[in-house]
Amino acid sequence: MEKIWLKHYPAGVPAEIDPDKYQSIRDLFDESVANYAERPAYHCMGREISFADVDRMSAAFGAWLQSRGLHKGDRVALMMPNVLQYPVALFGVLRAGLVVVNVNPLYTPRELEYQLVDSGAKAIVILENFAHTLEQVIAKTEVKQVVVAAMGDLLGGVKGALVNFAVRNVKKMVPAFEFDNAVRFNDVLRAAAQMTLERVEIKPDDIAFLQYTGGTTGVSKGAMLLNRNITANLTQVDAWLDPFLTEYDRKHYIIITALPLYHIFSLTVNCLMMLKIGGKNVLSVNPRDTAGFVKELAKHKYTTITGVNTLFNALMHHPDFEKLDFSALRISNGGGMAVQRAVAERWKKITGVTLTEGYGLTETSPVATTNPPDLKEFNGSIGLPVSSTEISIRDDAGKELPLGEPGEICIRGPQVMAGYWQQPEETAKVMTADGYFRSGDVGIMDEMGHTRIVDRKKDMILVSGFNVYPNEIEGVVMMLPGVVECAAVGVPDEHSTEAVKLFVVRKDPDLSEKEVREHCHQNLTGYKCPKYVEFRTELPKTNVGKILRRALRDAKAA
C-alpha cells in the first residue's frame, strides 16, 4: 500500500534510516563510551556508575567469560531484576560476541528448565535470591558456569554489605542453595581486572539476543534478534527523538526505568537507547512498592518515564504522587499494553505531560510505531510507523484491507526478527511471503496512517456472532471514578457462544454492581455489556504489570 503515514511525519523525522550504520551493538557501545565516558549511566539504590565504569567492568566480565572457554555464538542467560550487575553482564556478554538469553527471575523451575534447555545456554548470571530455582534444574541443562550476584554487590563496601545482610538475614529473601561450579559476581570482576577482552568479529547478522516470548501461539519461543535488528531499531527511535531534544536535554537526559531490563521494551527503549544518546537510567528494583517508588521519583529531575498502563495508574492512586516536581519531565511513554484514555487524561492533568503510546513486540525489537514525543493530547492511537517501517492491515487470508477496516497488524522493517530459534515451523506461521510479521493484534488504520489497536486476536470475545474487544469495555469502565482497574474476558455461554465477564478492583468500596452495569449500558451496545461482574481486591499480572486475562478466563462464571 501507499505509505500514507509519511505525509504526516513530524518535521525533521526522516522517511528512512540507514539500518547498517553500526556493524554491531558493540560498535555502538564503543562509540558511546568514547563520547560519554564521564556521564552517569545507571543509578540504583543510591549508587551511580558512569559509562566509563560500565566499560571497564563489562570488559572484565566479557574477558572472564572468554577465559572460561565460551566462544562466539555461545548463549549466556541473565536472570536478574533491575540491579547494576545487569548492564555490566549484558555488555560483557555482547562485547565478547556471545548471545544474551534474558530470563524472568520469577520463573518456576519448569519454566527455567525449558528456556535453558531450549536455548542451550552454557552459562548463567543469576541473583542469589533466585538461585534455589536454578539448583533444582541445572543438572538437566547444558549450563556449566554459574555466576551468582548479590543485591549489594556494586553498591560499595559498607552499603553493599549492609544491603546484603538485610536481604539475606532480615528480610529472608535468599533461600538456601548450593552449586559446585558457582562463582561470585564480584570475585569475577576482581579475577578479570587484568584480563584482556578478545575482540572477536561480530557481524550485523550475528544473533545478539534470544528473547523469549509466548508470541501469538503456542509455548515460549526464542526470537532471534540480530545485531542489525537492534541497532536499526535504536537508529529508528533516535530519528524520532532527535528533532524534539535540545542540546541541554541530550546532556542531562534521565529516564526512569521501572519495567525490568530483561523485558524487550525496557531493554531497547531504556537500557540501549540511553547508551546511544548518553542518558542516565534510574533503575527501580521493585516498582510494585508504589510508596517506595514515589519516594525514589522525588529524588530525580527526570526527562522521561516509561511504563505500562497499570504502572501509571498505580502511581496516580498514591497520595504523594501529585506532590512531585514534574518540571523536567518531557516525555511519558506507555507500551506493552493498551493505554486507557481515563489513565492518560488523568496523567496529563497531574503531570502536565501527554502520555504517548507506542507499539511493538519482542519480534520487532520492539518499536514498530510511535506517536511524536510532543503530542499535545492523547489520541488513542499507537502512532505512525517509525522510519523504514511498513504497517499493513490484513485479513486472515493475508489480503490487505481498506483503510478503516479492522484486521491483523502486519509489520515489515529492519527491526523484524530473523525468526524463532530452532523453530522454522513457528516462524513460517508468523511471517508472510512478502516479509511481514503477523503480530496477532487487531488494528485499524486511518487516512493519516495512524493505527489504533482494537485488541489481541486471542482475547477477542465472540458474542452471538459479534466481535467484542476487551480493550473497549475496559476503557469505558475505567471512566468510573470508583474503579482502580478492571479486566474483561469471554466465558462460555450456552445462548451466545461467549458472554462478557468483568473483573473490577474498587477504589470506592461502596461502588455497586448495579452502578457498574448502568454505566456500561449508558456507554456500550447491549451485546458488549458484561453479563457477569466480579469484584476483586487485585488482578493477576505479568512481571511487567500487564493484566493476565488468560488467568481470569480460567475462573468460572459467577
Give the pLDDT score at 214.
62
Beta bridge partners of 48: 43
Q: What is the CATH number of the domain that holds 137?
A: 3.40.50.980
If one counts every other C-beta atom within 10 angstroms of the C-beta of residue 508, the result is: 12
Return d(Cα 119, Cα 224) in angstroms, integer.
Answer: 11
Residue 39: the pLDDT is: 98
Judged by DSSP in three states, 353 sits in: coil
Mean of the per-residue pLDDT values of the chain? 94
Dihedral over alpha carbons 521, 522, 528, 533 (to 10 degrees): -50
Ranges of residues in the chain whose predicted pLDDT is under 50: 215-218, 557-558
321 and 433 fall within a common domain: yes
Do 267 and 346 have their domain in common?
yes
* Residue 340 belongs to a domain: yes
**Domain check: are 429 and 348 in the same one?**
yes
What domain range is 98 assigned to? 25-202
- Are 499 and 354 in a shared domain? no
Residue-level pLDDT at 219: 64
At 445, which CATH number?
3.40.50.12780
Domain count, the chain: 3
Domain boundary, last residue among 456, 475, 494: 456
Q: Are 54 and 32 in contact (CB under 8 A)?
A: no
Edge-first strand order for the sheet with 304-307 is: 47-50, 40-44, 280-283, 254-257, 304-307, 331-334, 355-360, 367-370, 384-385
Residue 220 domain-assigned (yes or no): no
CA distances from 344 to 254, 348, 481 (A): 22, 6, 14
Q: How many CB atoms lie within 10 A of CB 347?
A: 23
Q: Do 452 and 465 belong to one domain? A: no
Residue 531 lies in a domain: yes
- Residues 129 and 267 reside in one and the same domain: no
pLDDT for residue 213: 86
User: Residue 207 falls within a domain, yes or no?
Assistant: no
Tens of pLDDT, residue by residue over 210-225, are 999 864 444 689 999 9
Out of 424, 456, 488, pick the residue that ends a domain. 456
pLDDT of the residue at 10: 96
Same-domain check for residues 238 and 361: yes
Beta bridge partners of 456: 441
> How confident is the model at residue 224, as a pLDDT?
98
Residue 537 and residue 520 share a domain:
yes
- In this structure, are 175 and 286 located in the same domain? no
With beta carbons less than 8 A apart as the criterion, state whether 410 and 391 touch.
yes
Residue at 209 is within a domain? no
Q: How many CA atoms does the CB half-sphere of 232 hold within 13 Å?
A: 27
Q: Residues 268-293: pLDDT tens digits?
A: 999 999 999 999 999 999 998 999 99
Q: In 3-state terms, what secondary structure has residue 209?
A: strand
C-alpha cell of residue 244: 524534539
Can you tell me the distance from the alpha carbon of 392 to that of 524, in angstroms, rounded to the nearest whole number? 29
CA distances from 289 to 277, 296, 317, 371 (A): 29, 11, 13, 29
Residue 536 and residue 501 in contact, taking contact as beta carbons nearer than 8 Å: no
Are 279 and 387 in a shared domain? yes
Backbone angles phi, psi at 491, to 5 degrees: -125, 150
pLDDT (tens digit per residue) in 297-328 = 999 999 999 998 889 999 999 999 999 999 99
3-state secondary structure of 463: strand
Q: Which of 418, 441, 456 is the last residue of a domain?
A: 456
Q: 342 in a domain, yes or no? A: yes
**Cell reading at 33:** 563510551
Verify that 350 and 311 share a domain, yes or no: yes
Contacts of 229 (CB under 8 A, 6+ apart): 208, 365, 414, 415, 416, 417, 418
Report if residue 221 sits inside a domain.
no
- For residue 548, the domain's CATH number is 3.30.300.30
Same domain, 367 and 395: yes
Q: How many CB atoms lie within 10 A of CB 123?
A: 23
